Amino acid sequence: TSQDVYASVPSTIFIIWAISSWFRRGPSTPDPNTPAGAPRVPSRNLFTKDTLMDLYVYVSQEEVFSDFNNTDALFWFHRDLVYGDWTTGEDGDGCYQHYKEMDIPEKVQQNGSLYIHVYFTKSGFHPDPKRKGQYRRLATVHATRMMNKFKRRKFQKTKNLLTGETEADPEMIKRAESHGPVEIISHWHPNLTINMVDDHTAWVKGSVPPPLDQHVKFDAVSGDYYPIVYFNDYWNLQKDYYPINETLTKLPLRLTYCPLSLWRWQLYAAQNARSPWNFLPEDTYEQSDEDQDSVKVALLETNPYLLGLTIVVSIVHSIFEFLAFKNDIQFWNSRQSLEGLSVRSIIFGVFQSLVVLLYILDNETNFVVQVSVFIGLLIDLWKITKVMDVRVKNKIAGVFPRLVFTDKSTYVESSTKIYDDMAFKYLSWLLYPLFGCYAVYSLLYVEHKGWYSWVLSMLYGFLLTFGFITMTPQLFINYKMKSVAHLPWRMLTYKALNTFIDDLFAFVIKMPMMYRIGCLRDDVVFFIYLYQRWIYRVDPNRVNEFGTSGVDHSQNNTANAAPASITDKPEGQKKND
């Protein structure tokens, strides 16, 4: 069914992410100041273990901070922190917290930026370079970050095509008219963690592997490196961000200081890595707020054993998906006879894939999803050439070739065509009324961008809801022929296993109820296939999936012929396997 495309999307995204992550590694950039052939000397951390430090946190609208005398800009000052200490702190884990509500500057309310400037100095020193005797360059670590986050908010202008009315918020409509369909809005999250990496690795300048090289800063004179300060907001859920506008008067902020181990910092740094090695469009990695939150919530709230099982099942899902793809291509490529196969279902599958592709293009879906659906459409088009004879005749208007499609002889001369036409005739008695009712419902109660979007969304919704019915003609043909030997059982088995895995995810992960029902309907159809295979016993006179039977009519030796089961193959085929 059409939802099978979206069931395979997580696996496709994982595979593409893994491949691009390999390319993203890239080579480390050599230090241009190091002469060719000169030995590279390992460096050391400028802050030794258990160094006493003072923490200064300033909040300002300026990206480059210099107003150290402004007491209002000083958000947090903490004296005598111990570098690499994991035992003190408020909860005995080396962490400290500070909470304060700040006044919102007028520029920030109007989509301005707000920056946080963090300074770690050895005890007794000050971060202000103008204070002679109190400032030392090698005793000061500085990091800056923009605190607010700009997010795009898209406004879809939808309406009821009959009445012209919409249920959208009037304020949203007014902002869309003044700012356009895409609005950039500044958002705020009240929590931020300041991590200081507890690491004393003897890094060599120019040899730090990416993406760590973007964070390790070396002193130009001494050659040693500064302690790594990392702003950690990975666990801030997207749904907790709220827009900064004129209605807000205060900005709450809770800062947390914690030490961080090297391996955990590497995991966080890899999540935020950016590299010129990336060759896919930017929106390939762009996820919706719901997608980002679902992954984080799963990591935070899911039982570790269940989470591990989910990862293993996801890998198995990818393997089964590849095997189903391989066996499907192999089956149709080596098929000699179309007896027992529903050709009309193949043609309808092309129409279904085309509707899904047009629908996701109209709704600006993720690039990976678009590629996945497009490849599926190409495969369905290729199947047309295997089930029908395609010929090019005289060109239309002398320019465009005219394609002529005719049924293959093995399909026309068998009783399969009669049963296939009969099945779709009975099916139309159910599909056409359902299609008409769904089209009227979509037109009356659902808002759309225009008539084109209504056609696509109506067709897509209908296929998603009732698309499983198109699998029933093959059941009818099996019933009339009293045989299932013509079916690609390996491909069906792999797809069925993937459907069972989708059932597991459907009830573990939050998703629409119609999708869950759709997965169960596919299971019901497959169980009917299994029931038919059980009741239709092996017949030596019946042709198997390779166009052969267990009876050698050419030699009239029917008495000694070996029976051909559903999986029997010619001798040449066995050698090829």
Residue 208 φ/ψ, nearest 5 degrees: -75, 125
Is 0.85 topped by the overall pTM? no
Q: Which of 6-15, 140-149, 342-351, 525-534 is most confident?
A: 140-149
What is the rounded CA–CA span in Å between residue 273 and residue 271?
Answer: 6
Mean pLDDT lowest for which of 353-362, 444-453, 531-540? 531-540
Q: Which of 13-22, 194-203, 323-332 is most confident?
A: 194-203
What is the rounded CA–CA span in Å between residue 277 and residue 28?
Answer: 12
For residue 566, count other CB atoms closer than 10 A to its CB: 18
Please report which confidence band the pLDDT of residue 257 belongs to, taking 50, 70 and 90 as the band edges.
very high
By the 8 A CB rule, do 172 and 245 touch?
A: no
Mean pLDDT of 293-311: 74
Name the DSSP letter for residue 292.
H
Pairing outcome for strands 191-197 and 250-260: parallel
Percentage of the chain lying above the pLDDT 70 cut = 72
> According to the model, what pLDDT value does residue 101 have?
93
CB-based burial label for 59 (10 Å; 0-12, 13-18, 19+): buried
pLDDT in tens, 513-543: 555 555 666 677 778 878 888 888 665 565 5
pLDDT above 50 for 565? no
Query: Which residues, at least 6 apart from 410, have a Cβ–Cβ distance to it below 8 Å?
Result: 336, 337, 338, 339
By the 8 A CB rule, do 159 and 176 touch?
A: no
> According to the model, what pLDDT value does residue 562 have?
39
> According to the model, what pLDDT value does residue 10 have?
42
Query: Which residues, at least 6 apart from 117, have a Cβ–Cβ distance to it below 8 Å?
Result: 57, 58, 59, 60, 65, 142, 143, 144
Percentage of the chain lying above the pLDDT 90 cut = 20
CB-based burial label for 181 (10 Å; 0-12, 13-18, 19+): exposed
Please report which confidence band the pLDDT of residue 448 belongs to, taking 50, 70 and 90 as the band edges.
confident
Please report which confidence band the pLDDT of residue 382 belongs to, taking 50, 70 and 90 as the band edges.
confident
pLDDT in tens, 400-428: 677 777 877 777 777 778 888 888 888 88
What is the rounded CA–CA span in Å between residue 225 and residue 218?
Answer: 4
What is the rounded CA–CA span in Å between residue 230 and residue 215?
Answer: 8
Q: Please give the order of strands across the beta sheet that includes 182-188.
A: 149-154, 182-188, 242-243
Mean pLDDT of 198-202: 90
Question: How do the domains of the chain map onto residue ranges?
Answer: 3-9+312-535, 42-277, 537-577
Mean pLDDT of 376-401: 76
Choose between 408 and 103: higher pLDDT.
103
* CA 488 from centroid of its chain's CA atoms: 30
